[in-house]
Amino acid sequence: MIIYEPNKNWFRDIWNLTTSWTIRKIINGVLLVGVLATVICSVFYHFDIVPLLNSSIFSLLGIVLSILLVFRTTTAYDRWWEGRKQWGDLVNNTRTLAVILHACLPKTDDASRMYFARQISNFCIALRDHLRKGVKREELIDVPAEEGEALGRVQHVPNYIAYLIYDRMQTIYKAGALTEADMINLKPHHQSLFDVLGACERIKKTPIPFSYSVYIKVFISLYGLMLPFGLYKDFGFYTIPLTMFIFFAMIGLELMAQEIEDPFGLDCNDLPTGDIALTIRKNVFEILENRSVKETTSGGIYSKVF
């Protein structure tokens, strides 16, 4: 995720467009529309043709297309923001789970504290990678050989780690080190791990319907190709830059919506799930083991820039 100060350094932010992935991806399409607009305007001028289409028709079509694009970008942002809220809930509930465990466990049970600190941290790291391209065992913290073999056999690593956390809680409860009241307090926060996991999987595995996405792309393309026929009568050769600018604005909105609708990847505008997982790790170890973990960052490995 790009970290910046809102409403500051406007010109520097605009200058970043020169390295924009969005610009580089749509520049060929904008240039193609510009070439076609140039050819159409040249034919109209050379043969003294006055197109019959009126610009008001394209104004109406533009309104319809704008409504579709607003819905598209709003839906994409809702998915992005829902993902951020889920990871915010994960931060809150893992901290609370760690605090309750630290308060309820026997003062001498350092082994269980270390176990829970490691597993809660590993759940967040596994969830981060699960929502990307799969969990890498080497990314997890201090995995014993036996546990590593079990993780290698399961297909859903976050689910298994959540099970290990609850299994250890039950073992301690049956040994009498946790009371029934302690378990009642712990269960909702443990359940929240599954709630966040399920909500994030729902976002990840339910993209915008393909037909809707394709329809908008076709509509934008046809609108951009037909614009010169509606603008030439009123604007002459100014139709060329106008067509390119309008097409650039519309296709840019579509591409930005396409990028943020899957908020868990490595695009620069995706959620900083890696940094959030590291923050949780730092907080949990500080609570349960009373030691700090050096804060690092997972940034700098984006698949593309804005």
Q: How far apart are CA 175 and CA 156, in angstroms?
A: 29
Q: Which of 11-25, 152-166, 278-292 has the highest mean pLDDT?
A: 152-166
Please tell me the predicted confidence (pLDDT) of residue 305: 44
Q: Residue 280: how many CA atoms within 13 Å on its side-chain side?
A: 32
Q: How far apart are CA 139 and CA 54, in angstroms?
A: 61
End-to-end CA distance of the chain: 10
| pLDDT tens digits, one per residue of 288-301 | 987 655 555 554 44
Domain ranges of the chain: 90-206+272-295
| pLDDT tens digits, one per residue of 163-199 | 999 999 999 999 999 999 999 999 999 999 999 999 9
Residues in CB range of 12: below 8 A, 6 or more apart? none
| pLDDT tens digits, one per residue of 93-121 | 999 999 999 999 999 999 999 999 999 99
